[in-house]
A and B are shown apart, each in its own frame.
Chain A
Amino acid sequence: VITAEPADVCVVGMGAAGGTIAAELARRGLDVVAIESGPDHRSALPERDFHDDEVAHIVERRLLSNEPEAMVLSGRRLRDTPWLARNTGVGGPLVWSGFAYRFHPSDFRVASECGVPDGSSVADWPVSYDDLAPWYTRAEQLFGVDAGNPLPWGRSGALFADAARRCGLHPYRPPAAILQRDAGERLACNRCGQCTYYGCSRGAKASTLVTALRGVSLRVHAHCTAVEVCTDRGGMARAVRYLDVQGNAVEQPARTVVLAANAPYVARLLLLSRSRAHPHGAGNGSDQVGRHLTFHTGVMAWGVFDEVLDSVEGPQPHGGVDDYNESRPYRDGAAFRRGGVLHGGMPAAFTGGPLAFARALDVSIPLPDGVPRYGDGLLRFAAHAYLRHMAVYGLGEDLPRPDNRVVLDDTLRDRHGLPALRIEYTPHPDDVAQKQFLVARAEELLLSAGAHTVASDAPELPAGMFAGHAHGTTRMGTDPATSVADDSGRVHGVDNLFVAGAGLFVTSAGLNPALTIVALALRSVDAIAATAPRPGTPR
């Protein structure tokens, strides 16, 4: 084992949370070393690396990690494949659509709002909306959310909004971390439409590459995979062990360790970190690591219209309806406690580009009745529908269950020979009822908008899994018996070990998670910095 020069703080994972924290700590003069399993996009040339090639991004998933994972859905083991969409490389979020929501105040106190449904582990967050509000403001400033200049309605969005109003709903333009005017080095969106699955060559769509990481000096070990948090006899973190690009084992000593990878992979790293002080894995003294995993429920309906629309042009946040979110349907008598948001005017493939659309037909985009699976009928339909369709996507709150979790698999191994992640997930009965409700509302909206052909899907698999929305697994809370970390991300009982990112979420909310991830990360910086004072200052 090679031992590297000690650092003040070692951050594992350089996405939305890790990049934000590493940059803030470095600005405060701390010596930060980051370990990232993917490439270092800071040296990327936008025109070369964040181009528009659909084969690279849709077929080869160039910006996503491709480690196989085991998946057990409602007790049935599915095939091993990369189930989780997770960003890879320094500078995330890259593969995202730019939705930059604040959660609702009620999302932080679901147990107080509607009790703890049977079979769920619903709980209140240890932070309230008011606690997080100033950090939301800072996150919005960093990302340039709307920047006093909300997105204009496009044709698809306006069609959706008109239909929503006819249905008695309240449509809005979703908050987007996508610039509409040039700002410094970031150029305005040119409506290329290739947002999700792509980095933005113009920097219009926010990522830490064009925000927090600009002008910051950091030591980053890219293409290096963290495999263990090393602890001392007292159980405190002392180093991170990782495999470098040649496969050599390296120990990176640090005063403080921050785990900020994709949530399930933070849990996996804790579970891999077994020692005498932590026989069941670091932070896992009460068997909470990996549990309370949530995604988002997902449904979609899409329709084809007579006229040419602009759903395949960017930015992807075209229009939203929040009337069915939180507990509003429940109070009106629905059989589920928490609802979700509907996004309309969307491209059916969740991104623009003709190959993404056509290749998803009959795979993730259901074919309308009467359209054949191949041949002239399919080709004629695709040629007509590409510019003349829009989708309504529902993203619903996914109730946590203690046994929805990630564990180390018994047989599947990653490319380093370490136990791969196994996801165990059974939808809560509320989720099933909620999906049926949301997909019916989505169909109604499309018919009201004038679609002549509508098809829909309410899959058993939680669609959030394919959107990078994995939450929980290192839940935060005040009680070490029922949570892994406190509200700053500090792991209970390991004072110099922090987790960051969506793993801390207590419940999933029915909204996109990115802004909440960044706000929580910003909020945790003071607590992290306090454990790793600059050399020469008294501890």
Chain B
Amino acid sequence: MTAPPEPFTAVQRRTLEAVLAVILPSTSGPGAREAGAVDYVVDVLGKKPQAVTVEQLRQFLDAAQADPDAVLSGLEGDRAPAAQEMFVTLRALAWEGYLCDPGRLGNRDAVGWTRLGFEGPTKRRGHAVPPA
């Protein structure tokens, strides 16, 4: 099996990483950047369709390149359905890249799980009968 084609240019990818870091910054602890959320997002965009198309994302990233902070702030305040769809999709993807199973490329070293206090799926801990 060959890997799906890379959906973004190197510049677009850097912008995407910056946008994800605006949504979940590293100000007070590990954020999207430390979790490698961009790796998850790029991988998942190549595999399954999202509420916004890759082409729409490319256009957004090109526009966001110079000032991701300002563009995201404008997007949040824009009530147009397409803008809200983009905002909600980007935020969902950021959380997925931050909190997914580390086997899915994001949540590197489980930094997202650790920050929220999640110890990892207990189903993998085997067979424990809880106290009655």
The residues of A with any CB-CB pair to B shorter than 8 Å are: 51-55, 59-60, 149, 152, 180-182, 187-194, 201-202, 308, 353-355, 357-359, 362-363, 373-376, 378-380, 382-383, 386-387
Contact = CB atoms under 8 A, between A and B. Distances in A.
Given A53-B101, A190-B128, A192-B122, A359 B95 contact: yes
Interface of B: 22-25, 27-29, 31, 44, 48, 72, 76, 87-88, 91-92, 95-96, 98-101, 104, 112-113, 115-118, 121-125, 127-132
Given A374-B72, A379-B25, A380-B28, A358 B131 contact: no
A193 B122 contact: yes
Given A187-B127, A191-B130, A378-B24, 20 more contacts: A52-B124, A54-B99, A59-B92, A152-B132, A188-B130, A192-B121, A192-B123, A194-B123, A202-B123, A202-B127, A308-B117, A354-B118, A355-B96, A358-B99, A359-B99, A374-B23, A374-B72, A375-B25, A376-B27, A380-B29
B contacts with A: majority SS = helix
A386 B114 CA distance: 11
A375 B22 contact: yes
A358 B129 contact: no
Contact of A201 (B91, B99, B123, B130): B123
A193 to B, nearest CB: 7
A379 B29 CA distance: 9
18 contacts: A52-B123, A54-B100, A59-B96, A152-B132, A180-B132, A187-B127, A190-B127, A353-B118, A355-B100, A358-B98, A358-B99, A363-B88, A363-B92, A373-B91, A374-B72, A376-B28, A382-B116, A383-B116
A358 B92 CA distance: 9
A152 B131 CA distance: 9
8 smallest A-B Cβ distances: which pairs?
Answer: A52-B121, A376-B27, A192-B122, A355-B99, A386-B116, A354-B116, A354-B118, A387-B117
Contacts of A189: 130
Nearest to B100: A55
A366 to B, nearest CB: 14
Nearest to B127: A187
Nearest to A380: B28
B100 A383 contact: no
B25 A376 contact: yes
Nearest to B120: A52
Interface centre among B44, B117, B130 (most CB of A within 10 A): B130
B117 A190 contact: no
Nearest to A60: B48
Given A376-B25, A379-B24, A358 B116 contact: yes
A158 to B, nearest CB: 14
